[in-house]
Every structure is written in C-alpha cells, then in structure tokens.
Amino acid sequence: MNTPEHATTNTADPSGGPSVNTAEQPSTNPATNTVPADTVNTTVNDAVNGTEGAATDPGAPEVAYTRAGNVVPIRPDAARTPEDIPEQGGDPLAGRGTVLDAPADADGDAEVVRHPVQVDPPEPAKPSWWQAAREAKVRPLVPAWARSRSEVRQRAKWLAGYAGHTTAYHAIRCPLYAAKLAARAPRGLGRVVVAGHRWVFDAEGKPLRIAAVAAGATDEYRRLTEIRETRVRKRSTVVFLLFLAVLAGVFLLVTALSPVWSWLTIAAAVGVFGWVGTPADKPVIGRAVVTSKAPKLTSDVVVRALTALGIAQINQAVSKGPGITFPAPITRDGPGWRAEVDLPHGVTVTDVMERRDKLASGLRRPLGCVWPEPVSEEHAGRLVLWVGDQNMAAAKPAAWPLAKSGKADLFKTVPFGTDQRGRPVGVDLVFANMVIGAMPRMGKTFSLRVLVLAAALDPWVELLLFELKGTGDLGMFERVAHRYASGPDTDTLDKAMEALRELHRELERRSKTIRRIAKENPAACPENKVTPELARNRKLGLHLVFAAIDECQELFSHEDYKAEATKLAEGIIKRGPAMGVILILATQRPDANSLPPGVSANAGLRFCLRVMGQTENDMVLGTSAYKNGIRATTFGAKDKGIGYLVGAADDPQIVRSYYIDGPAAETIVGRARTLREKAGTITGHAAGEAPEATGPAHSLIADVAAVLGADETKVWSETIVDRLAALRPEVYGAWAELDGRTKANQLAAGLKPYGVETGQVHGKTEGGKTANRRGVVRADVEAAANTHRRKTTNVDGE
Ligand SMILES: Nc1ncnc2c1ncn2[C@@H]1O[C@H](COP(=O)(O)OP(=O)(O)OP(=O)(O)O)[C@@H](O)[C@H]1O
C-alpha cells in the first residue's frame, strides 16, 4: 500500500493555460504544484464529477480514495465540491475549466488534480489623471538649443552669415538677371498677347461648340454661340478700356512725369514680361547655397534599418507584432534627426550599438553619421538614434571658446570638445585624474593639448609637463611650465620620475596642511580638500598642480622605472585629487604594461579615441565598457580627435576634441604667459630654474654612503634600500615596498647617473644562510659621493 506523501512537485501547465496550484499542499510557488501521481487525491475530480470520492460521514476521518483504492488524508481546507473551488477573476467557471488530470501511470493509479490559483497579480487600478499627470515627464517649454547661450549665438552667427552671403551673391549677379529678363521679355509679351486673345475670344468654349456641331445639336450650338457672343462683347470692352488706360498712362509718363518714372516703368514692364517669358526649367535667379540635403529620417526607415541588424526578437516583433514603437516623434535635433525607439522586449540598446555599422548600412548613411545611444534614466531597451546630416569627422571643427580671449578657471568646467550634434562638452578637471588612450596618430596629443592650454590659461595652476616621445608636441608650454621635459631618453625619464617623486612628497605636505586648516578653521576647508580660496592663498602652497605625461607607457614599461613609477602614480591618482593635484596620462599603447591597472582603474575621467581591441578599450574606458556597447573600436581611421569621454557626464559621450594646431597653441600660450607674469606665477622651468635648484637638499649617493656601515665592504642592494627607507621614508618609502629584485633594479637605476655599478655580492641572509645577490662596493660609493660633493660645492660656490 502506498503511503500518503505531501511532497510537492512544481510543474508548468501542460495545456499552456494559466499556471495552477493543486490543493494537496499549500504552496507559495506561483507555478503549478502537484502531488506525486500514486498518492493522488481524487476528491476534487470526483467532486467536480459529482461521483465517488471523499468520505461523507461528518465524523469520519478526512480521507479520500485513489482509483487504485489507496486511502489518502485530505487537508481540512481542500475543496470537495465544485463550489469550494476558488473562483478566478470573477468567472466562476474559469478555475474549474483549468482543472487538469495528469496522465495515468501503468496501473492507472495516477491522477493529478490541480486547483487553479491565480498566479498573475491582479490588474493594478488605473492611476487617476492627477497621479498620471504628476508623474509624467515634463517637456521643456523652450527647446534645448534656445536655452544654451552659445548655441543661440552660434545659430545667430550662422543666420547672419547665411543672409549676408545670399545678399552678396545675388547683388553681384543683378546685371546678369537684368539681361536675362530683357532677353525673355519679347517672349513674355507674346505669351500675354496670345493669352489675352484666347480669353477675349472665348477659346475655352471652342471644343464644346465643335462637339455640338459634330453631334448635330443645333439648339445646343445656338446656346453656346449666344454665350460666346455675349462674352466676347464684354471682354472686348474690358480689353479696350484697359488699352485706353495704358495709353493714358504712357501719355502721362511721357508728357507729365520725369524720365526716371518712364525708365522705371519700362524696367518693371521688362521685368514682368521677362518673368512671364522665362521657361520653367531655367529660372532667372540661381541658388546662393547648394545644400546636399540629408534624407529625412522616418519611422519606416528606422524600422527597416533595425530589422537589417539580424536580431531575432526585432524581426519577430516586426513580422508578427507588436512591432517597434516610437515613444516620441522623430524630430530635427541640431544638424541631424533624432528618433526615440522602444526596442522589443529583451533587446537592449547595447545589442544595437554593437551593430552600428549594420545600422548605418540599413539607414543608407555613412557610419560617422549614425549614433545610437542608451537613455540611462529609462529602461535598457530605450534607444535614442541620432542621425547626423554630415559625417562627424568631415564636419568643420568648432573653434575653442578660449582660443581668442579669456582665461580659464580649473575649479570650473573647461571646454574640451563638441559632441556629434556640435554641442560643447566640458570637463571638470579639479578633483579628477584623466587617462587618454588611442592608437598612434588618432589625436591623443591634440586632445591633451586642449586641456594643458586650459590649465595654462589659469595662472594659479602649476604645470608639470613631460612628453616622452620627443617630438616636442608640448614644446610651446615651456614658457609657462614649472617642470618640462621632452624626449625618449633616460634623462627625460629621470626628470619625469623626479617630478612624480616630488608630487608624491608634496601630497604628504599638503595633507598635513589641509588637516591643520580643517582643525583650526573648519569653515575654510569644509570637505577636507582644496578649495578655490585655499588654492589662491600662496602662503599655504595648496595651488592646483596639473601634471601631464604624454606617452606614459615609456615610463610604466621601462625595466628600471616601472615599479616605482606605478607606485607613485597610483598614490598620486588616489590621493592627489583632494589635495589639488591633477594627473593626466596619455598613452598610445593602453595595455596592462603601459598603463598599470591600479592607475587606470582610479582615473575619474577617461578619453578613448580609436583603439583596436576590447582590452585596450576597457583599459582606458573601464571594465565592461566594451560589453556595455561603449566601443572606441568602432571609430574609423578618419575619426581623428573623436573618442568616447567617460566621467564628464552621467553617460559616456562621443566627443571630438577641439582642434588647436601648433601656431594657434603658441599664440594662446603667449596669452597664458602674460596672465602668469601679471599674477607672478612664472616659476621653475619657465623662470629658467633647473629642477635641482628647487630640488631636495639630499642626494641618493650621499644617502647610500651614509647608510653603509664603517665595517662593510660590500652590501646587498635590497639591504641598502631598506636602510634608505628608514633614513628618509618620505623619499624612499615607496622603494621599500618593492620586492628584492626590483629594489636592486631601482637602486641600480638611481646610482647609474653617479657612475656606480651594482654587481653580485656574497653575503648572509637573516637566517644565516649564504647567498649571492646584487649589491654595491663601499669604495665605489664613497668615491662617487666625494665627486658629487665636490661638484655640488662648486655649484654652490658659484
Ligand atoms: N580634434 C581634431 N580634429 C581634427 N583633426 C585632429 C584632431 N585631433 C587631432 N587631429 C589630427 O590627427 C593628427 C594626429 O594627432 P596627434 O598628434 O594628437 O595624434 P597622437 O595620437 O598623439 O599621435 P602619436 O601617437 O603619434 O603621438 C593631427 O596631425 C591632427 O591633424
């Protein structure tokens, strides 16, 4: 005999109807809930059929019988009659109709009874008009362009230019137009005479009269002839009177008025007759501007393009319904069309963005015109498709707003570029760091230059600039930079490293100053970070520092510098923003070796121009950027200066950096120099000072000599590094965190300029074991230290 079981099994409704939940076991699962086949309660089935089943004796135990004769207990609240079955959605039969039997097993003992339970939530009450209206999106009273002062200015400027050009174009062609009209005037006169003759003699009634004659309709013909005679009489009179009036006018002109009026009248008459005599296909006036009109974007075109993407859900939605919906009308938006689209369920904007090339093909537009974007505040399937009239790369670059005049304030947004629609895009550099990455020759240095120019135009900002390619792309800034070096050589790398160390040390000093101010005067430093007021107080030394390293891969992938450079850059990028230190790194090789992950992961602003693959893309734009459809790989070779900018707004933006060539940059730097001279902020390199002049009063060689014990002839490099870190933690602290081999490399690179080589040194480990490791010979160090002391004493003496 089977034992009753209460185990439940979830099954989907095989009929495909609404899911139901059997009464055997209470279940919170919305899917169908059934009892095992061999312990099936027949109660409901029988109750529905009105036959055998449940015990009827009130005192009898709550049992039921299976068809095989098994007795199973009935849950007290189980339904026993059709009326007990809960009603569904107000339809008493709805529930009963979906009571289903499971297929019987081999001995015919399996019968599953399912009590229907509503699994879908009830239809929510329709919100009131008041509620719906309050939650509705308010559309702006004035279009976005009219609220942007610069866009209004741009449009007004364009309109004035357009009107001026058109006027001038036609003005210089006036004689040509007059000649054309004069040549066509006789023809026009002929047309007027012929038309007048036809009207007076009722030419339009002629076919009817001929038809009446042909049909032999005498009465009809007579009636038509009478009409014609009346008309001809009246119209002849009109023409005669007109003729008399013209004659009188001519007489008056010739006899009473000045010849000017005669000529004017003749000109007007020639003009009118010339215009009448002009063939329809040869207009007198040509076009001042020829527009290559971009095709209009319509919903049909969008749907056709979307179905060409090869996304099954889109094709299914279009062919079988419900189709693709457009929550807002397709409108003009800047120099292009904007369509808002609700993609079918399950299709995301990313799915479309990653097929941008196919979309462009479907729209029959160049790739540089087609820009699908997500709408972050809406669902993942809300697409905004902007289709420009012109390829973004081919459009004339906008002028940098600060190119001609003005100064910048790095505490405010500085202009960086324009988006696809030509709208200005700015970046907030303060409290941020930036990474710029791209393939070679795509506009990395030009975009970096825009930012350096902005920083240069803020006279309170200290510039530390290193260009490690050696082409002098940032050479114009020598006049304003506190530190500057250009070149692919070790000397330049050393200078860049020294600047990073200096910045790292500076962070210590700044954090102490900020802590002190926050304690003494909390109102002056409410967020424990540099404020514009603090930055301009020279005594505090909290001015903004703008450090940029172009081609930073040279530093981060250099065998001798990479470990220290990574540590320093990570420290600066993490702690610098609050202390007013802005670090910008540009690289043409955005991979883990050239841009350490710890550095790239902490950058707040990212600008990625064309790159070749997903890894480079995500290295610059952040993890998962590629997966989310933010793909700088889709830019073409002609998309110079165009990239994805992340961090400047809530959503990634496509931006073309302002184009400022070398000579223009030179001029702007000239203005920056004047501003700095007035503010008294020409320091360091720009003031002709070498870094050593302001550098630390210690030197590595002297420090190494100082940490060598009197009885030591040879010492391992890693031991020396540990002692150096203890001697000057603020300088060598970062070295001590490196591993043994890197410590040795670090020391070797540091001692190289002093002519001290490291080599294998036999020594003992802390555990007493002997080992061979890299180290220095005391005599070499002392000799180099003496030479250095002599040199620096001479310099000081001078
Ligand atoms: N915003 C822009 N608009 C138009 N053209 C640009 C823009 N930015 C750069 N370019 C063009 O791209 C070319 C390459 O720019 P740039 O020198 O900045 O590239 P790069 O990525 O720094 O190259 P490399 O990797 O060799 O240093 C420039 O000569 C310039 O003509």
User: Dihedral of CA 599/604/605/611: which sign?
Assistant: positive
Cross-strand pairs, 385: 339, 372
Q: What is the pLDDT of residue 591?
A: 82
Which ligand 1 atom minimizes the distance to the CA of 473?
17
The answer to whether residues 116 and 106 touch, using CB atoms and an 8 Å cutoff, is no
Q: Residue 739 contacts by C-beta under 8 Å, 6 or more apart in sequence?
A: none
Is residue 643 scored above 50 in pLDDT? Answer: yes
Q: What is the pLDDT of residue 200?
A: 92
Nearest Cα neighbor of 425 from 456, 394, 392, 459 is: 392
- How do beta strands 434-437 and 325-332 pair? unpaired
φ and ψ of 527, to 5 deg: -110, 15
Q: What is the pTM of this model?
A: 0.59
Measured distance between the N- and C-terminal CA atoms of the chain, rounded to whole angstroms: 113
Question: Which residues participate in the annotated binding site for ATP?
Answer: 438-445
Q: What's the complex ipTM?
A: 0.97
Find out if CATH 3.30.750 is the number for domain 299-388: no
- The more confidently predicted of residues 706 and 96 is 706
Q: What is the pLDDT of residue 6?
A: 39
The answer to whether residues 725 and 736 touch, using CB atoms and an 8 Å cutoff, is yes
The answer to whether residues 127 and 55 touch, using CB atoms and an 8 Å cutoff, is no
Q: Average the pLDDT over 702-711 and give the result.
A: 85
Q: What is the pLDDT of residue 209?
A: 92
CA of residue 505 to ligand 1 center, whole Å: 34
* pLDDT tens per residue, range 149-196: 877 887 898 899 989 999 999 999 999 999 999 999 999 999 999 999
The superfamily (CATH) of domain 431-606+666-687 is P-loop containing nucleotide triphosphate hydrolases (3.40.50.300)
Distance, CA of 100 to CA of 604 (rounded, Å): 60
Going by pLDDT thresholds of 50, 70 and 90, the confidence category of residue 412 is very high
Q: What are the Cα distances from residue 534, in Å, to 430, 431, 517, 540, 787?
A: 13, 14, 9, 7, 43
Is residue 3 scored above 80 in pLDDT? Answer: no
Mutate to test the pocket of ligand 1, among 442, 655, 658 (most ligand atoms within 8 A of CB): 442
Neighbour count for residue 278 (Cβ, 10 Å) = 19
The DSSP output letter for 367 is G
Q: What is the pLDDT of residue 484?
A: 94
CA of residue 661 to ligand 1 center, whole Å: 9
Q: What is the pLDDT of residue 139?
A: 79
Q: What are the Cα distances from residue 723, in Å, to 271, 699, 727, 766?
A: 100, 15, 6, 15
Residue 513's SS3 state is helix
Distance, CA of 466 to CA of 613 (rounded, Å): 27
Dihedral, CA atoms, 222, 225, 230, 233, nearest 10 degrees? Answer: -140
Q: What is the pLDDT of residue 72?
A: 52
* pLDDT tens per residue, range 103-155: 444 454 545 555 666 676 677 678 788 888 888 878 788 887 788 787 788 78
Q: Say which amino acid occupies 63.
A: V
Q: What is the pLDDT of residue 342?
A: 93
Q: What is the pLDDT of residue 798?
A: 34
Mutate to test the pocket of ligand 1, among 445, 642, 661 (most ligand atoms within 8 A of CB): 445
Q: Residue 651 contacts by C-beta under 8 Å, 6 or more apart in sequence?
A: 373, 374, 376
Residue nearest to atom 12 of ligand 1 (CA): 443
Residue nearest to atom 1 of ligand 1 (CA): 641
Q: Give the pocket of ligand 1 (CB within 6 Å).
A: 397, 438, 440-446, 469, 588, 640-641, 656-657, 659
The answer to whether residues 337 and 331 touch, using CB atoms and an 8 Å cutoff, is yes
Residue 788's SS3 state is helix
Domain segments of the chain: what residues?
A: 1-124, 174-276, 299-388, 431-606+666-687, 696-797
Distance of CA 633 to the CA centre of its chain: 14
Q: What is the pLDDT of residue 102?
A: 45
Q: Average the pLDDT over 277-300 and give the result.
A: 81
Distance, CA of 464 to CA of 483 (rounded, Å): 5
Q: What are the Cα distances from residue 502, in Å, to 603, 705, 732?
A: 20, 22, 12
Is residue 581 scored above 60 in pLDDT? Answer: yes
CA of residue 660 to ligand 1 center, whole Å: 10
Helical packing angle, 717-727 and 740-751, nearest 10°: 80
CA of residue 671 to ligand 1 center, whole Å: 23
Q: Say which amino acid occupies 798.
A: E
The answer to whether residues 111 and 41 touch, using CB atoms and an 8 Å cutoff, is no
Mutate to test the pocket of ligand 1, among 452, 640, 657, 659 (most ligand atoms within 8 A of CB): 640
- The more confidently predicted of residues 728 and 446 is 446
CA of residue 597 to ligand 1 center, whole Å: 25
The DSSP output letter for 46 is H
Tokens 């981060």: give the residue.
556
Is residue 226 scored above 90 in pLDDT? Answer: yes
Q: What is the pLDDT of residue 33?
A: 37
Mutate to test the pocket of ligand 1, among 391, 420, 446, 656 (most ligand atoms within 8 A of CB): 446
For the chain, how many residues are written? 798
Cβ density class 422-449: b for 16+ within 10 Å, e for less: bbbbbbebbbbbbbbbbbeebbbbbbbb
Cross-strand pairs, 763: 771
CA of residue 294 to ligand 1 center, whole Å: 28
Q: What is the pLDDT of residue 645?
A: 95
Which ligand 1 atom minimizes the distance to the CA of 449?
18
* pLDDT tens per residue, range 231-265: 999 999 999 999 999 999 988 888 888 888 888 98
The answer to whether residues 386 and 421 touch, using CB atoms and an 8 Å cutoff, is yes
Neighbour count for residue 68 (Cβ, 10 Å) = 16
Going by pLDDT thresholds of 50, 70 and 90, the confidence category of residue 384 is very high
Dihedral, CA atoms, 588, 590, 594, 600, nearest 10 degrees? Answer: 130
* pLDDT tens per residue, range 506-532: 998 999 999 989 888 888 888 888 999
Going by pLDDT thresholds of 50, 70 and 90, the confidence category of residue 70 is low
The answer to whether residues 482 and 684 touch, using CB atoms and an 8 Å cutoff, is yes
Q: What is the pLDDT of residue 2?
A: 38
Question: Which residues participate in the annotated binding site?
Answer: 438-445
Which ligand 1 atom minimizes the distance to the CA of 642?
1
CA of residue 102 to ligand 1 center, whole Å: 72
The DSSP output letter for 443 is S
Q: Residue 275 contacts by C-beta under 8 Å, 6 or more apart in sequence?
A: 181, 184, 188, 284
Would you state the structure tokens that stand for residue 497, as one six-digit string?
Answer: 């490293």
Is residue 502 scored above 70 in pLDDT? Answer: yes
Residue 153's SS3 state is helix
Distance, CA of 468 to CA of 478 (rounded, Å): 15
Dihedral, CA atoms, 214, 215, 218, 224, nearest 10 degrees? Answer: -70
- Continuous segment of H or E residues that includes residue 550: strand 545-550
Q: What is the pLDDT of residue 291?
A: 63
The answer to whether residues 100 and 85 touch, using CB atoms and an 8 Å cutoff, is no
Distance, CA of 518 to CA of 538 (rounded, Å): 17
CA of residue 530 to ligand 1 center, whole Å: 34
The DSSP output letter for 566 is H
* pLDDT tens per residue, range 344-380: 999 999 899 889 889 999 999 998 899 998 887 788 8
H helices within 584-694, ranges in order? 597-600, 614-621, 662-679, 691-694
Distance, CA of 615 to CA of 784 (rounded, Å): 46
Residue nearest to atom 28 of ligand 1 (CA): 443
Q: Residue 501 contacts by C-beta under 8 Å, 6 or more apart in sequence?
A: 568, 731
Q: Residue 619 contacts by C-beta under 8 Å, 6 or more apart in sequence?
A: 437, 590, 591, 592, 595, 597, 600
H helices within 708-767, ranges in order? 717-727, 729-736, 740-751
Neighbour count for residue 25 (Cβ, 10 Å) = 16
Is residue 40 scored above 70 in pLDDT? Answer: no
φ and ψ of 455, to 5 deg: -65, -35
Q: Say which amino acid occupies 497.
A: M
Q: Average the pLDDT over 70-85 and give the result.
A: 50
* pLDDT tens per residue, range 79-113: 444 454 444 444 444 444 344 444 444 454 545 55
Residue 387's SS3 state is strand
Q: Average the pLDDT over 547-556 and give the result.
A: 93
Going by pLDDT thresholds of 50, 70 and 90, the confidence category of residue 293 is low
Residue 458's SS3 state is coil
The answer to whether residues 370 and 387 touch, using CB atoms and an 8 Å cutoff, is yes
The beta strand positions in 353-478, using DSSP E, are: 370-374, 382-388, 414-419, 424-427, 434-437, 462-467
Is residue 794 scored above 70 in pLDDT? Answer: no
Mean pLDDT across the chain, nearest whole number? 81
Going by pLDDT thresholds of 50, 70 and 90, the confidence category of residue 697 is low
Lowest mean pLDDT among 123-137, 529-543, 690-704: 690-704
The answer to whether residues 29 and 22 touch, using CB atoms and an 8 Å cutoff, is no
Distance, CA of 232 to CA of 201 (rounded, Å): 5
Which ligand 1 atom minimizes the distance to the CA of 438?
21
The beta strand positions in 318-358, using DSSP E, are: 325-332, 336-342
Is residue 631 scored above 60 in pLDDT? Answer: yes
The answer to whether residues 110 and 35 touch, using CB atoms and an 8 Å cutoff, is no
Q: Say which amino acid occupies 521.
A: N
